[in-house]
A and B are shown apart, each in its own frame.
Chain A
Amino acid sequence: MFHWLEKNPFFFSVGVFVIISFAGLIEILPNFTEASRPVIGLKPYTVLELAGKEVYKKDACIACHSQLIRPFKSETDRYGQVSLSGEYAYDRPFLWGSKRTGPDLHRVGNYRTTDWHENHMWDPKSVVPQSIMPAYKHMFTNIADIETAYAEAVTVKKVFHTPYGDEFKGTREAWEAHKPTVLAEAKEVVKNMKNKDVKDAVANGEIPEIVALIAYMNRLK
């Protein structure tokens, strides 16, 4: 049979394709609907939090930080309750990471404050003297892309039925109408910050990346 396959590239390719498909079909498909069910009470990310998640992705925080607490006492002591599948139901993409050069962040909102993050992102060594994490000062001046975050919310509502309110529509008017809500949320975060430029920016209706990122960090509980 193998000799025959080696003379018939078409059937050879079909053979390879069938053989490599098995695993995906058997391992991934059966659990698909169940694994995507949210835990009770899980709320979708607000637009500001989504914008913060974009900052997290843009600067590839995932390169050093995980968001997955494994079922070991040493991990639950350090980071909090074991992670559950349903908690990730609105995470597109999942951000579990594969390397902990820095600590896990899945429940960082439980034990770090806005103020702490502000100091830490400006100069990690000011809070953790031995830290090897770089400072992310550019997040204090770069403006977060909240319009794209809104577009993401509308998209996941339309395509995946993520439970956003009826006001989430894919039109510019709907976005303009929603914008003040995002700004109000940013103002809540900024109340606990001290950087003057950031405060001024938010007062002028622009949200620096750091504000969105902190909103996202605080949401991780």
Chain B
Amino acid sequence: MQSNAALEYDYSVAKLFTYTTILFGFLGMLIGTLIASQLAFPELNYMLGEYGTFSRLRPIHTNTVIFGFTLSGVFATFYYVGQRVLKVSMAESKFLMTIGKIHFWLYLVGALAATISLLLGYSQSKEYAQYEWPLDIVIVIIWILWGISMFGLIGIRREKTLYISMWYYIATFLGIATLYLFNNMAVPTYFLTDGLGNFMHSVSMYSGTNDALVQWWYGHNAVAFGFTVPIVAMVYYFLPKESGQAIYSYKLSLLSFWGLMFVYLWAGSHHLLYSTVPDWMQTMGSVFSIVLILPSWGSAINMLLTMKGEWNQLTENPLIKFMVLASTFYMLSTLEGPIQAIKSVNAIAHFTDWIPGHVHDGVLGWVVFMIMAGLFHMAPRMFKREIYSKSLLETQFWLQTTAVVLYFTSMWIAGITQGMMWRAVDEYGNLMYSFIDTVAVLHPYYAIRALSGVLYLTGFLMFAYNMIKTMTASRELTQEPQFKSPMA
């Protein structure tokens, strides 16, 4: 059996996904900054002809960030964390190694094909589920490959008990699989008509109100299982590893995990308040959204308490700073969401810029920060070099934090302003503003948001530069660091 010598983990797949995390992160944020600027300065719509309008680019922004950047980050960290918490190396199984490699290359090809298809206008027009059926099939195959990797590693594990991070990775796999399959059910028109029309085209299995219900059951929970669950998996691994502190409470992690699993899925119908779905479903969505604060804050508080008595690390180690800020933004975002899900608040907030504001304090503050911190922790261990620059890391932190604050504050003001203007009536009960009045007033906020995009993107470029330098030019390490990642 295994000797006492430390296992030599194989990071080749983790490295590949690290590269795509950086690539897709840059592309997704670049397009995001561009479309944010288009809302402030509409002339920017005409740089690429038909392919450069806000509407054509917006789905590419969301999909590149979700399925490009975030998923790459999830896979990269999984291929790193999975081996370590299961105490088994990828190198031990030729089969799993091959599956891992195919998983990556098919993912890369699929992601590029999917992006091109959106650029050409192939779209089911369901948010975050725009890809047409042939691409859906590719995505399902990619997902199955990840499943084989994960359960394969679990199958040959030495550590019998699954660590908390593994719970969350498994839930990510199952959750996305279920949601994606049901929401993308569609009938390709080509086959039922002896080959009439476009091969790519399909019609949704569901219509109208039903389609809305399935879509937001998916849409909300794609956020849950893409932007929350696997990111919690990361923080449960990387924070204790980087700080050298044990997780504060096992019971709290249990409560948060099973609570999150049960509650999250109910909340989807809060996207459909005051719509034509039955009232009781709307109320359920609203109520469960409030309940959702408990398991969300459970995880976040567990993280913050893990740092108990060690807060000096916050000033000494920028990676701890990233992770603590990420946990804090997770708390902010999971409090803001439930507030927006209260029916009377939603009446004002829905359809306004407060919603993208909410999404972005979650994604920019929590998801991206956590993924970057995870990759920074992994880099010295994967590439056996210290992190290239601590001062760059510090600058990046403050630049991006400023950017997030600018983003959500401007969008809060924009959203509430517009929501109030839509419903404002004069003393005779007539509407006070025409629609365009409520658009024109938003210009300064859109400009601030565009600026915040530029700042955040600059910060991300610092991250990319720091990572690339770490991989290639940094001082080599003779020994794997135990806790704090070494940095110059």
Contact = CB atoms under 8 A, between A and B. Distances in A.
B50 interface: yes
Contact of B194 (A9, A24, A152, A170): A170
Name the residue among A36, A89, A90, A92 with the largest chain B CB count within 10 angstroms.
Answer: A92
Given A27-B268, A150-B193, 7 more contacts: A2-B258, A27-B213, A64-B55, A74-B431, A75-B422, A132-B39, A145-B197
B290 to A, nearest CB: 15
B123 A28 contact: no
B207 A31 contact: no
A175 interface: yes
B480 interface: no
A97 B272 CA distance: 10
Interface stretch (B17-25, B174-182, B320-328, B375-383): B174-182
Contact of B193 (A22, A96, A135, A151): A151
A156 B39 contact: no
A71 B178 contact: no
A83 to B, nearest CB: 6
Nearest to A83: B276
A138 B121 CA distance: 13
B207 A22 contact: no
Interface string B210-224: 111111010000000
B196 A154 contact: yes
A172 B178 contact: no
A60 B61 CA distance: 13
Interface in B117-153: 121-127, 151
A128 B262 CA distance: 48
Contact of B54 (A27, A97, A134): A134
Contact of B55 (A72, A103, A134, A145): A134
Secondary structure of the B contact surface, majority rule: helix
A159 B187 CA distance: 8
Contacts of B284: 27
A96 B275 contact: yes
A16 B431 contact: no
A22 B268 CA distance: 13
Interface string B264-299: 111011010011111001001100100000000000
A161 B182 CA distance: 21
Interface string B194-215: 1011100101111111111111
Interface of B: 38-39, 42, 45-46, 49-50, 53-56, 58-59, 121-127, 151, 154, 160-162, 167, 170-171, 174-175, 178, 182, 187, 189-190, 192-194, 196-198, 201, 203-215, 217, 254, 258, 261-262, 264-266, 268-269, 271, 274-278, 281, 284-285, 288, 347, 350-353, 355-356, 422-425, 430-431, 435-436, 439-440
A13 interface: yes
B194 A70 contact: no
A21 B178 contact: yes
Given A20-B261, A101-B39, A155 B203 contact: yes
A147 to B, nearest CB: 5
Nearest 10 A/B pairs, CB to CB: A88-B208, A148-B197, A23-B265, A170-B193, A134-B45, A58-B121, A151-B197, A85-B276, A57-B125, A74-B423
Contacts of A160: 207
Interface in A90-117: 90-103
A88 B209 contact: yes
Interface in A119-156: 128, 130-136, 138, 142, 145, 147-152, 154-156
A20 B276 CA distance: 25
B431 A92 contact: no
Given A27-B269, A60-B59, A94 B215 contact: yes
Contacts of A175: 196
B59 A36 contact: no
Given A57-B124, A88-B276, A132-B39, A155 B59 contact: no
Given A9-B151, A93-B215, A170-B194, A71 B187 contact: no
A71 B272 CA distance: 13
Secondary structure of the A contact surface, majority rule: helix
A91 B351 contact: no
A77 interface: yes
B58 A155 contact: no
A59 B215 contact: no
Given A19-B262, A24-B265, A151 B201 contact: yes
A89 B208 contact: yes
B418 to A, nearest CB: 8
A98 B353 CA distance: 10
9 contacts: A16-B167, A31-B210, A35-B210, A36-B209, A70-B274, A91-B207, A93-B124, A145-B197, A170-B196
Contacts of A147: 196-198
A90 B355 CA distance: 28
A214 interface: no
B55 A61 contact: yes
A31 B351 CA distance: 25
A33 to B, nearest CB: 9
Given A7-B160, A154-B193, A131 B436 contact: yes
A6 B257 CA distance: 12
A75 B123 CA distance: 29
